A and B are shown apart, each in its own frame.
Chain A
Amino acid sequence: MKPSKSFKLALNILRHSKVRSWLTIIGIVIGVASVVAIMSIGTGMQLSLESSLGGLGADIITISPGASRTMGGFRDFGSDQPSASSSTAKNLTIKDIQALKSVENVDIVTGTVSGRGEVYYLAETTTVSITGVDPIAWNEITTSTLSSGRFLGASDYSAVLVGNRLATRSFKQPLSVNRVITIEGASFKIAGILNESGGMMGGGSDSGIIMPIEAARAVLDDVGTDEFDSIIVKVADADLVEQTMSDIDARLMLTRHVTNRTKDYSVSSSVAMQATISSTLESVTLFLGAIAAVSLLVGAVGIANTMFTTVLERTKQIGIMKAIGAKNRDIMMIFMMNSALVGLVGGVIGLVIGSVASLFVAIPMMGMGGRGMGAENVVTPQLLVFTLSIAVGIGIVAGLVPAYRASKLRPVDALRYE
């Protein structure tokens, strides 16, 4: 028999099998929907994470005070507070910068200070994160781009760069170039407004202010002279970041007279950070996906169960078909296709529901994450093909034994079955 004909017969069986088939399909729908939702949210988070961390280039290493945690130096995550450890730990100083300048593969070394300050503009006040940088070095290092105005120059003192969100959304009147704002009582002229970077690193803080480091020291009260909240290193060869990180680590241990155990600073790079978070996220996604896959497995058992019943119910029809010339292979095909169809229909419906559901999960997360940490759902074509083939595959596997049994029925016995 032609496969197309087997398919038609299989479809006929499906169309005429009532509630039971639909219940079975729902089992697959739930499994597929949860897998799709979880995987697509996971992929979405990964993508938004990558774009966030891309704010500071791949050739950047950051040294921060405070003992290293797994994500040492990842201090801007969700908050603009300088990491709690910076107040207790011994701060980084100009000596550290000098020490790092001679490390191999190091191109630029520059210190930054950061904190929070009140900004006053046209009778409105808001608190923002302030980063003090060496303009020349920062211009070399940053991946931020200007929306309008110019970058800071060496001679600037009371000029600032304003992040895009701060400029456009924080005040009733949007900030623009050459306007004067008051930060902690001192007046600053806006030199430039940065493009939105989506970044959460200091380099592209969308709702922060970047100003010359001397000005920042004057504005922020808890920053001592010659002390830095972090040191940023740009390497000459980005491929050697890992090596340079350990070189920097070794050099600082030497100059700061600490050991691995008493280390009071941490070295990190956006690349390393990204890899860590990325892999954590990936395993979480995989884990949740595996749980969802269990429900898919339950769905498969459901299909097998229904198929056994269907075969039993249609024993007589199998006998008739065999009597009028159906080969075992034909019967096998019809029931396998029926089972695969249950998988396919469940898979398609599940995909639609899963994609829609992941949208609904993604929207509140977007609100929670704020600041470009938006989790979007990403239903990739690969995910579509993958889940659909899994659903159909499950249908086929679940239908294998019932279909085989059906095909092996002896025509006499099957015909006599009532």
Chain B
Amino acid sequence: MKFQAKTKASDKIPTASMPDIIFMLLIFFMVTTVLRTYEGLNVLLPQARKIERLETKRHVAHIFLTKDGLISIDDKIVPTDNVKHIMYEKRVADPQLIVSLKADRNSVMELINELHSELREADALKVNYSAKTAP
């Protein structure tokens, strides 16, 4: 008696659904990439050598400070006195909050010191001075 192979499965990988899989991948990457979520103000960042990357992107609040003393949080211009209220609420909502301070390199320290004390009053103590790599 002779045995015959019963299955006639083809040894080819079906490629008909390949585009669908790749499109899914494409859409996944397009959805998950977080693009810039803030506009900010026009600032010239200071330059530094030993700069580190922020470990996370989720727990970061951006504060912009121009050399004229304009402060912007979440694309809203706020007076200096209001920073502590806004930051305090942010801090309560997210205890791991890191403040990324994007201040102009030509701004005077008076403005920075005011921001420091506002942040200290709001208990938002983790600060990151945003800087560019020095050439």
A, B bound: no
Residues of A within 8 A of B (CB): none
Residues of B within 8 A of A (CB): none
